[in-house]
Structure 1
Amino acid sequence: MSYETILYDVKDRIATVTLNRPEQMNTWNDQVATEVYDAMQAAGADRGVRVIVFTGAGKAFCAGGDIHSFGGDPHALMTKLPRPFDMRKRADWQTRCSYYPAIPKPVIAMLNGATVGIGLIHALFCDIRFAADDATITTAFARRGLTAEYGMAWILSHHVGHARALDLLLSARKIKGIEAERMGLVNRAFPSDTLADETYAYARDLAENCSPRSMRIMKEQLWEVPFQTPHEAIMAAGLDMPIANQCDEYKEGMASFLEKRKPNFTDD
């Protein structure tokens, strides 16, 4: 698929998906949604990709929804996308903004600038978030007469806790990347001029030194945790342990450790 609103690149086993509407601050519309979804699925299925970085071109990651593209109705986007929204499912990771947990590889959101509204929702459903320390981040909804859309109340409180989520949603106040790091909304905040270097150094470390199978299984385990009792989580982990111990990746991981060399894991 050729893309008009995003860039897609693969290098060193890292796929980069870049929102590429810098003049519009990478605001979100139905075409962006379709192209990002397609690129994420392609990266997830590509055996030559081990890590995915999601970022924006220019001064913004994503400054919210492109209201002009859907006639001033922010909910029009939902009616245009063909993917199902099944409220009967406990954890339907294939809905409009929450499909990132179902991608079998780590997805790192690199928040290079303004991250607003629906842009923040997408970032929150990624696995890791690195931000520029001066990036502006806000939920925005309360100041537009909207509510916590696309599961934001759940995912935001999952990351930062109930009290902080209420603060950010009710006030829609703007915070910077450095405050987002302190409250746990992002994993790390870096000076804007080193953000890309730090992000890709981390991504390369995962791609070069970590087992693709291990990362895939542990990602599944962590995203399942909110729906499990401790007993269920322990039992599920126990079911995979004997399987992991028989895998070639386990043998290579142990051999590389004993031989004091970098591992050479096969693609999952």
Structure 2
Amino acid sequence: MTSFCDPLMLFAEGRAMRTVPETELGEDRMADYNTLILERLGTEDRLARITLNRPEKMNALTSELFTELNDCLHDLEADQSCRVIIIRGAGRCFSAGYDLTPGRERRPGERSYQTVDAKRRTLMMNVRTSMQQITDVQMYLWNMAKITITQLHGYALAGGCELAMMADLVVAAEDTQIGHPGLRGLGTARNGCIWPLVLSMRKAKEYYYTG
């Protein structure tokens, strides 16, 4: 894992980043999503800030969170008043990775993934598996026309690292630890082919080889 601090961190908050207490997130906004908080800030609401809101689970990523993030990003991309999107995490970290808690047993014929979002829009690339769905949401973030920023603190591991890398800019607090421990046993990450473009080949290899 690698720790780093970027002077661009001041861009996202206007001050050094820190742990985001739940009391600062605005309970009136929590009804929109179960796992996210969406805030509109700045002149004419041009800045959209998405907070991953599972602090009790260190913002571990679930299929529900990715479904809601997919809906939120699609809506913001279509909103002409939105110019910049910041994604951050509530509590102690950005995200500790994927939620590996076993889910309930599926009923016969029940799908474990979605082919359309809440507004009946077909998800990208004709999703066939839940793993593909995660990749599709990540690639949608990568391809967005809006300026996207991931604001990191604490841990950004595994899926949290993958998500962070898909933004146009990554800004990090001094305590940030970025890594993908699963690479040591599973090989490259789902979006690992992009890492040399955003990290340089040598830095990408460092992550591939060490996690």
Common topology (TM > 0.5): yes
Q: Which residue of 2 aligns with 1:43?
A: 76
Q: 2:174 aligns with which of 130, 133, 141?
A: 133
- 2:190 corresponds to which of 129, 150, 154: 150
Give the drift of 1:70. 4.5
| 2-structure distance, mates of 1:3, 1:117 | 23
Structure 1 runs (4+) greater than 6 angstroms displaced: none
1:101 Cα deviation after fit: 2.8
**Do structure 1's residue 169 and structure 2's residue 208 form an aligned pair?**
yes
Aligned length: 158
Instruction: Please list, as runs of the form range in 1=range in 2, the aligned pairs for 1:90-101 lying within 5 A after superposition.
Output: 95-101=136-142
Q: In 2, Cα distance between the equivalents of 1:125 and 1:156? A: 9
Preserved contact between residue 156 and residue 178 of structure 2 (Cα < 8 Å): yes
Between the aligned partners of 1:60 and 1:8, the Cα distance in structure 2 is 18
Map 1:42-61 to 2 at 5 A: 42-61=75-94
- State the SS of the aligned residue for 2:202: helix
Task: Rate the CA distance shift 1:50–1:67 in 2: closer, same or farther, 3 A.
Answer: same
> Which residue does 1:177 correspond to in 2?
none
**1:15–1:53: 8 Å Cα contact kept in structure 2?**
yes
Greater helix share, structure number:
1
Identical-pair percentage? 28
* Pairwise CA distance, 1:69: 4.7
Alpha-carbon displacement from aligned partner over 1:1-22 (angstroms, at most 9, x marks no partner): 9310010111221101100000
Deviation at 1:147, TM superposition (A): 2.5
**61-70 or 15-24: which moved more?**
61-70
Residue aligned with 1:110, SS: strand
Q: Secondary structure at the match of 1:10?
A: strand
Distance 1:96 1:85 in 2: 10
**Equivalent residues of 2:183, 2:189 under 8 A apart:** no
Tell me how far 1:67 sits from its aligned partner. Answer: 0.3
Looking at structure 1, the residues matched to 48 and 86 of structure 2 have their Cα atoms a distance apart, in angstroms, of 6
Q: Greater CA radius of gyration, 1 or 2?
A: 1
Paired with 1:54 and 1:97, the residues of 2 have a C-alpha distance of 13
* Structure 2 partner of 1:20: 53
Please name the residue that 1:65 is paired with: 98
Q: 5+ residue gaps in structure 1?
A: 72-78, 87-93, 173-268
* Unaligned 5+ runs, structure 2: 1-30, 105-111, 116-122, 127-134
* Alignment equivalent of 1:80, drawn from 110, 113, 119: 113
Cα deviation, 1:33-82, whole Å, max 9, x if unaligned, reads 011111111111112211111000011111100000547xxxxxxx5242
Q: Cα deviation per residue 1:175-206 (whole Å; 9 max; x = unaligned)?
A: xxxxxxxxxxxxxxxxxxxxxxxxxxxxxxxx
TM-score between the two structures when normalised by the length of structure 2? 0.68
